[in-house]
Structure 1
Amino acid sequence: MTAETTLEAMGPVDYLVLEFPAGAQNFHGEVAAELARLSEAGTIRVLDLLILIKDADGSVDAMEIDDLEQLDEIRALETEIAEILAAEDVELLAEAMLPGSVAGVVVFENTWAGPFGAAARRAGAQLIASGRIPIQAIAASVEAELAAEEEGN
């Protein structure tokens, strides 16, 4: 498969940053098992996986997942990791972190959407907008609608 063919069939790429308070990081267990399950099922393909540590003074240290022995649950994903985040990306992501916290960063391809995207591109379409609605915003909207309905009754 050529690089052009691979890119043609590639789904959208997203990233998540999961922040844990100092001393409370938990990158194993249920979180790691679910990430592995999504990857094994073909729903996502992990492209990069990092651990960020932000000291109280604001300095940041980034570690690749293979540097951490205790994360065996995610180690199986190593063969898929492309390490695409640059130092500048790490700095930008760390800006969202609180001092003294630890975060896991996962960059992943939404492989489920690849065939749809490829079909759209072959049909001459191009993606001109995309976004994500945070679940908190949806919950607030539903709650506001329910409150409005209760006031109206």
Structure 2
Amino acid sequence: MSIGPVQLIVLGFRHPDFHGEVIAELERLRQSDAVRVIDALAVYKDAKGEVEVEHLSNLSTEEAIELGSKVGALIGLGIDGEEGLEAGAALGAEAAADGVQIFDDEQAWDVIATIPDDSAAALLLIEHHWAVPLRDAIARAGGFRLADAFVSPLDLVAIGLVTAQEAEMLDGLERASATAP
């Protein structure tokens, strides 16, 4: 079975309501064949930087531990506490023993550090099914990924994809959420 390109998206929230629209949209994406939400976590960080993790899915706790703790394993945050962290480390060691090159500490992305204190984040691990044929065609042509990133709405004005007014509105939505008390 071929897996599509997988992306980790980290979205910040000052006052999240992960049980309403976000959960509904995750369910809609799951029903779509274009993308698959492999896993989703809510990470709450209090004013002192203490972290609390909650699974964002319709899986039971047991299913989340067995099937859906991929984000936690990827970033070193076990949904099943210390046991989950140890299980993730064991899988990484097994992959390294099989000759898979695991990135080093300099290449690591400290996702938890990017979440401001007294806020929360939704961590979404998404597989892009639509991109499998494109990725395979690129590989057959000898191509490979050098980098990827989301582009700011403000940068889209310069290339004519959105108007300045649209970009300001979209950017304002993002900034308002980021700075709301």
TM-score by length of 1: 0.65
The residue that corresponds to 2:148 in the other structure is 130
- Displacement of 1:55 in angstroms is 1.3
User: Higher mean Cα deviation, 129-138 or 53-62?
Assistant: 129-138
Structure 1 segments, 4+ long, off by >6 Å, are none
Letter in 2 for 1:114: V
Partner-residue secondary structure (3-state), 2:110: helix
Identify the match of residue 70 of structure 2 among 83, 97, 104.
Answer: 83
- Displacement of 1:82 in angstroms is 5.5
The two structures, once aligned, show a CA RMSD in angstroms of 3.1
Alignment partner of 1:40 is 2:65:
no
Aligned residues of 1:16 and 1:105 also touching (Cα < 8 A): yes
| Unmatched 5+ stretches in structure 2 | 78-108, 166-181
The residue that corresponds to 2:10 in the other structure is 17
Number of equivalent positions = 127
CA-to-aligned-CA distance 1:16-37 (integer Å, 9 cap, x gap): 222222xx32112222212211
Structure 2: distance between partners of 1:35 and 1:119: 29
Structure 1: distance between partners of 2:7 and 2:133: 17
Alignment partner of 1:57 is 2:48:
yes
Partner-residue secondary structure (3-state), 1:75: coil
- Displacement of 1:130 in angstroms is 2.8
Structure 1: distance between partners of 2:143 and 2:125: 25
TM-score by length of 2: 0.56
